[in-house]
Amino acid sequence: MAAETFPIGEAARRCGVKVPTIRYYEGIGLLPAPSRTEGNRRLFDAADLRRLAFIRHARELGFEVDAIRTLLSLQDDPDQPCAAADAIARERLADVEQRIAKLMALKDELERMLEQCASGRVAECRVIETLADTTHRHGPFT
């Protein structure tokens, strides 16, 4: 009995990605080249769909392509220690924590700006004044 295969559109639908995304992942080597029909149409099997779902989930978590490539190679050799995978996840967590800190500083700056707003005329608008002041920078992006 042959394993069930899926054309690219069905693979995309089942994994929640777009067809060009699958082609992109194949082109950069995250997905192996799938089997093809006599008419040269791609056919994906269950293992391909699991790999594609793994990639999609990793992308949703913000992992870069190179990190995903490394994680996939680790997944392909399950007897190795998981220290490398842990290190990649820790690095991603540190990136997320840094972004959260920057977003919190941005939130604080916007709240300060709005608290100082008199809701009067633009001539006295603290929002406009704060944004126009290039010498006074608070916040995460300075």
The model's confidence at residue 1, banded by pLDDT at 50, 70 and 90, is: low
* Measured distance CA(22)–CA(7) in Å, rounded: 11
The model's confidence at residue 2, banded by pLDDT at 50, 70 and 90, is: low
Question: What pLDDT sits at residue 118?
Answer: 64
Q: Using one digit for the tens of pLDDT, what is the confidence trace for 77-136?
A: 989 889 999 999 999 999 999 999 999 999 998 888 887 776 667 666 777 777 777 765
Phi-psi map region of 85: left, alpha, beta (phi>0 left; psi -120 to 50 alpha): alpha
Are 73 and 87 in contact by the 8 Å Cβ rule? The answer is no
Q: Using one digit for the tens of pLDDT, what is the confidence trace for 29-72?
A: 999 988 888 888 999 999 999 999 999 999 999 999 999 999 99
Question: What pLDDT sits at residue 136?
Answer: 57
Q: Higher confidence at residue 1 or residue 21?
A: 21
Long-range contacts of 61-64 (CB under 8 A, 24+ apart): 61/92, 62/92, 62/95, 62/96, 63/88, 63/92
Are 80 and 70 in contact by the 8 Å Cβ rule? The answer is no
Q: How many residues does the chain have?
A: 142
Please give the sequence-ordered ranges of beta strands (E in DSSP) within 1-142, or none if there are none.
6-7, 35-36, 42-44
| Fold for the domain defined by 1-80 | Multidrug-efflux Transporter Regulator; Chain: A; Domain 2 (1.10.1660)
Terminal Cα distance for the chain, rounded: 62
